[in-house]
Structure 1
Amino acid sequence: MTLPVALSGTDVIGQAKTGTGKTLGFGLPLLERVTVPVDVEAGRAKPEQLTDTPQALVVVPTRELCTQVTNDLLTAGKVRNVRVTAIYGGRAYEPQVEALKKGVDVVVGTPGRLLDLAGQKKLDLSHVKALVLDEADEMLDLGFLPDVEKIIQLLPAKRQTMLFSATMPGAVIGLARRYMSQPTHIRATAPDDQGATVANITQRVYRAHSMDKPEMVSRILQADGRGLAMIFCRTKRTAADIADQLAQRGFASGAVHGDLGQGAREQALRAFRNGKVDVLVCTDVAARGIDVEGVTHVINYQSPEDEKTYLHRIGRTGRAGATGTAVTLVDWDDIPRWQLINKALDLKFPDPAETYSTSPHLFEELGIPAGTKGVLPRAERTRAGLDAEELEDLGEPGGRGARSSSRTKADSSRTKSEERPARTPRQRRRTRSGTPLGDETAAPAPTAEETAEEPRTPRRRRRTRAGATETEAAPAVEAVTTTEEPAKPRRRRTRASSTAPKTETEAVAVAVATEVAAEEPAKPRRRRTRVKAAQPEA
């Protein structure tokens, strides 16, 4: 439905369910609008129409979706030799800048890195003929809408704009009205497919306890006919924890979340696509557009935030006409959130059944063999695992890429320690008065006999008055014991001596005053009493 309208150059708003081929819906018209040397040789274009700057731009919200769209466009444009380059964060700048210098026809990128390179004048968007916004509602949720508007302002006013997504909130429609010219809104649904979800996906919802969830997931992963499986979590910490627990239980598991470096994220996705890993634990960063063939089970370990996230999560299975199973484990605290999702999508699970890892209906509904335990038997551990996939060095900039994983850190530190030469330990030398103890040229220490013959004179401390100067210049005085001349007693000034009269006249006056004081009788001491209260007359 999209191809005839998009090939004519008209702006398009495409809306369809996940797994219905939206990538080629905008990819083929995009490749047709690009002018390449093959067109000049065939006479369909003139030589002056050729350029090394990008002629088409695709903006996507996540790095994983960026690499997938790039690979799809490279496959579709292989015959015409269309140059497609992926521009996204988490990788080194230099290879991307070199690819832009060599010339590129189509650029697929995330908003942040596109704006960064455009601001550095390394990315020229003045010749873009067609713009595609893929998963526009996710860019709105991630806060990329202001960046997308800045990118649109760098493009020529005369261009074709196409917007594709499975869900269309009001803000995305507002964006389309501002930057699109008379767009054609195409919504593709199958005649026998009613509702928002894909009909060939079997949905199961259980009320589960958080402490029993790892055991439940381990048993669900051993169901009959289970191929590749994706497990979605709300938080990065939960995703890393579940991936480690499943690895300990014998499953070949990998993790994709925001705390991993870009190299570790791409390593896990490559291992999942190649079959070395059959369980991928991820956050919602991998819920958009990831298309892996053979995914039969999707498990929502934690309830999604809203109905859009639920649709995109379960859309990783049942793609391109295949069948799949979606299992949602709802905790007691998430029941109100799930009931809102159930009502919005018109599902049939308003009150999920309370389920545990030993519940009979869990084994019956999901086809789990009886007697299955939470540990994968050793006979069934046939996958190579995540370690079999090579970890590519992407030259990740900044500190975020360094926080990849403990295993990656250990490997890198081990490699560096092997390459670095052994360090010679520092030799400390004991000295005495600046002379090394073990030095042969140093003077020998005095013996006990020499020490006994020449007794050491004790140091005498000299007490000086305050104000005495030039103490250093005074000659040294030998200590001599004076027994003939006794030391003079130290004079002490008393208060009486300091107040004694100094003249005869003063002495006579003091004596007379003393005699007069002795002759006069002492006056009685007056005592002050309170006034007696007036007594009544007799």
Structure 2
Amino acid sequence: MGKTLGFGVPLLQRLETPGDGTPQALIVVPTRELCVQVTKDLVEAGANLGVTVESIYGGRPYEPQIEALRRGVDIVVGTPGRLLDLAEQRHLVLGKVRSLVLDEADEMLDLGFLPDIERILRMVPDERQTMLFSATMPGPIINLARTFLSQPTHIRAEENDAGAIHERTTQFVYRAHSLDKPELVAKVLQASGRGLTMIFTRTKRTAQKVADELTDRGFAAAAVHGDLGQGAREQALRAFRSSKVDVLVATDVAARGIDVDDVTHVINYQMPEDEKTYVHRIGRTGRAGKTGVAVTLVDWDEMPRWKLISDELGLDQPEPVETYSTSKHLFSDLDIPEGATGRLPLSKRTREGLSAEDAEDLGDKRRERRGSRESGSREGGSREGGSGRAQSRKPRRRTRGGKSADGGSAESADTETPADGEAHTSSSSGSGRSRSRRRTRGGGSGSKPATESHASADGATSGDAPDDGGQRPARRRRRRGGRGRGGPASETAQDNTPQETNTSETSAAAD
């Protein structure tokens, strides 16, 4: 309705040009999309004045914004979070700000930005002009104005008896089932005379789901919600403004301040939270003297909330009529052709679509997937002779009964294995050679030969020292059970039955 130029023109007139590069005016907005829009309007309005306007908001790299501030700007438009970050890092200087604008103050309150706004107000000079714009004036906003504004003047841009809904917007409210909503919306989008259309949902997941569903049905649709990156959100808005897509599915992030020409229809796919959100949603159409159509779909469990909204706004529609995608009154109310189906005919698919709009490169570097990075390093090590972990590990060999499964030794090739009937006692004889650990089944040895362990055990119990260089017959090993663990085979070991499962038992049988 011209609010941006309402505060933008006085700001441009009061600037000192040329300036010294320090911001002279600061405009704080709640959303990134509104920040881009306000910046664009001010750039166009001050094109012949030599004024520099810069947008500061999150979702973009810091470096280009810091570089722009170092070059010098006259007007800064930004969101509270990124403004505070750059101000605390001393990249954004607010000591010479003479004009401060808080746009959509009630929305910033709803988003939890009120503490950030108070911190920003403490950073700017006390002598300044402050303009606060808000569609509604809740208690916290009034307290903010009384605390930080000097002799504030309240200006109401409407008549006292004016309704909250513009008379040029025709409203239709239907009680619809959630499973039938995609089919119903697809037929509403084929109404005669429909231009650009905005569909509002309550959740981000629903917004993306509806956009994908409409794209599959042949409509040129795009989504705007918080789960998308900033580049994707701006791409969707640019495609919608340039009419490359004619259906924009969005959450309430696009319900405030977004100005797009020729929006003829607004569809509330899901009920808004309160009457204020409802007013902002359907206010995207019927703007600047034009007419518009607002369609609201109310599910059965949303009836109490809709009754409150209807009573608060005086709509006199507490009980919406039950409507399905095949209802005759739906076709007559919205002027939908009788033969319309749930899919857009091929002859009417004339929009270029979202892919026709180039996505802006914001300079973000996406991290590679960890799995692909690890597999690439392993492949590089094996192919190029690198010293990777996979290459340094020795192959694991299966053993059975102290011997390898293929009949060879259970140890690696560089370790000598004593022959059957001999007991290797290199550690006792002082050779100092270490042996690799073996993992065996069926009572095999551990980190050192079984004969050595049994010999040390005998020496500990009897106290006798070996008389042949530390080599003596090994003590029979009592097995706890079976060939592995548990079982009746422990009794067999006590009956002196010859077992040839490992070196220690072979030595005992020879003794």
Equivalences for residues 184-333 of structure 1 within 5 A: 184-189=153-158, 194-333=162-301
Paired position in structure 1 for 2:111: 142
Q: TM-score, normalised by structure 1?
A: 0.71
What's the offset of the Cα at 1:69?
0.3
Alignment correspondent of 2:128: 159
Aligned partners of 2:391, 2:330: CA distance in 1, in Å?
74
Secondary structure in 2 matching 1:289: coil
Q: Which amino acid aligns with 2:33?
A: E
Which secondary structure state, in structure 2, belongs to the residue aligned with residue 51 of structure 1? Answer: coil
Q: Deviations over 1:473-524 (max 9, x none)?
A: 44699xxxxxxxxxxxxxxxxxxxxxxxxxxxxxxxxxxxxxxxxxxxxxxx
What 5-or-longer segments of structure 1 have no aligned partner?
A: 1-19, 38-49, 403-408, 434-445, 447-455, 478-538
- Structure 2 residue 382 is matched with structure 1 residue 426: yes
Quote the residue 2:7 is aligned against: 26
Q: Call closer, same or farther: CA 1:320–1:432 in 2, change over 3 Å.
A: closer
Q: Is 1:57 aligned to residue 26 of structure 2? A: yes
CA distance, structure 1, for counterparts of residue 327 and residue 394 of structure 2:
81
Aligned residues: 409
Q: 2:314, 2:167 → 1: CA distance?
A: 13
**Measured at CA, do residues 475 and 211 of structure 1 come closer, stay the same or move farther in structure 2, by a change above 3 Å?**
closer
- Deviation at residue 210 of structure 1 after TM alignment: 0.6
Most deviating of 205-214 and 28-37: 28-37
Q: How does 1:342-381 map to 2 (within 5 A)?
A: 342-381=310-349
Cross-structure match for 1:466: 459
| Distance in 2 between residues matched to 1:290 and 1:323, nearest whole Å | 17
| Cross-structure match for 2:356 | 388
| Residues 1:432 and 1:109: Cα distance change in structure 2 (over 3 Å) | closer
Code of the residue aligned with 1:109 in structure 2: it is G
Describe the shift of the 1:53–1:431 C-alpha distance in structure 2 as closer, same or farther (beyond 3 A).
closer
Residue equivalent to 2:73:
104
How far, CA to CA, are the matches of 2:393 and 2:156 in structure 1?
88
Task: Give the superposition deviation at 1:348.
Answer: 2.3
Per-residue deviation, residues 47-104 of structure 1 (Å, max 9, x unmatched): xxx3211000000000000000000000111110211000000000000000000000
- 1 CA distance for matches of 2:349 and 2:342? 14
Aligned to 1:335: 303
Distance in 2 separating the partners of 1:379 and 1:75: 38
Q: Give the aligned partner of residue 386 of structure 2.
A: none
Query: Following the alignment from structure 1 to structure 2, what is the Cα–Cα distance between the partners of residues 161 and 178?
Result: 12
Q: Where do residues 406-417 of structure 1 align in structure 2 (5 Å cutoff)?
A: none
Separation in 2, partners of 1:163, 1:431 = 69
Alpha-carbon distance in 2 for matches of 1:27, 1:431: 69
Task: Return closer, same or farther for 1:97/1:459 CA change in 2, 3 Å cut-off.
Answer: same
Task: Supply the distance in 1 between the matched residues of 2:305 and 2:177 (Cα, whole angstroms).
Answer: 16
Shift in Å, 1:126: 0.5
Q: Which runs of 5+ in 2 are unaligned?
A: 384-389, 396-407, 409-417, 424-450, 474-511
How far is 1:184 from its partner? 2.2
**From 91, 98, 114, the counterpart of 1:129:** 98
Correspondent of 1:81 among 30, 44, 50: 50
Residue identity matched to 2:50: N
- What is the alpha-carbon distance in structure 2 between the residues aligned to residue 471 and residue 120 of structure 1? 82
User: Hey, what's the Cα distance between the residues in 1 that align with 2:204 and 2:217?
Assistant: 20
Measure how far apart 1:314 and its partner are. 0.6
Residue identity matched to 1:237: R
Summarize deviations over 1:376-405 as a string: whole Å, max 9, x none: 1111111111111111121349xxxx6xxx
Q: Could you tell me how far apart the structure 2 residues matched to 1:247 and 1:472 are?
A: 90
* Aligned AA (2:8): G
| Identical pairs, percent | 62
Could you say if the C-alpha distance between residues 169 and 425 of structure 1 is closer, same or farther in structure 2, counting changes exceeding 3 Å?
same
CA contact (8 A) 2:381 2:391 kept: no
1-structure distance, mates of 2:65, 2:166: 38
Offset, 1:255:
0.5
The 1:244–1:472 alpha-carbon spacing in structure 2 relative to 1, beyond 3 Å, is farther
Give the superposition deviation at 1:141: 0.5
User: What residue identity is the alignment partner of 2:12?
Assistant: L
TM-score (norm 2): 0.75
Q: Over residues 362-386 of structure 1, what are the superposed CA-to-partner deviations in whole Å (9 max), with x where a residue is unaligned?
A: 1101111102111111111111111
Query: How far 1:147 sits from its partner (Å)?
Result: 0.3
Which fold has the larger relative contact order, with Cα–Cα distance below 8 Å and residues 6 or more apart in sequence?
1
Residues 220 and 459 of structure 1: CA distance in aligned 2, closer, same or farther (over 3 Å) = same
CA distance in 2, matches of 1:107, 1:431: 59
Structure 1 residues 469 and 123, CA, compared in 2 at 3 Å: closer, same or farther?
farther
**Residue 371 and residue 460 in structure 1: after superposition, are their counterparts in 2 closer, same or farther (change >3 A)?**
same
C-alpha separation in 2, matches of 1:269 and 1:396: 20
- CA deviations on 1:10-58 (whole Å, 9 max, x unpaired) are xxxxxxxxxx211111111111111112xxxxxxxxxxxx321100000
| Contact 1:261 1:396 (C-alpha < 8 Å) held by counterparts | no
Query: Would the alpha carbon gap of residues 474 and 298 (structure 1) be closer, same or farther in structure 2, given more than 3 Å must change?
Result: same
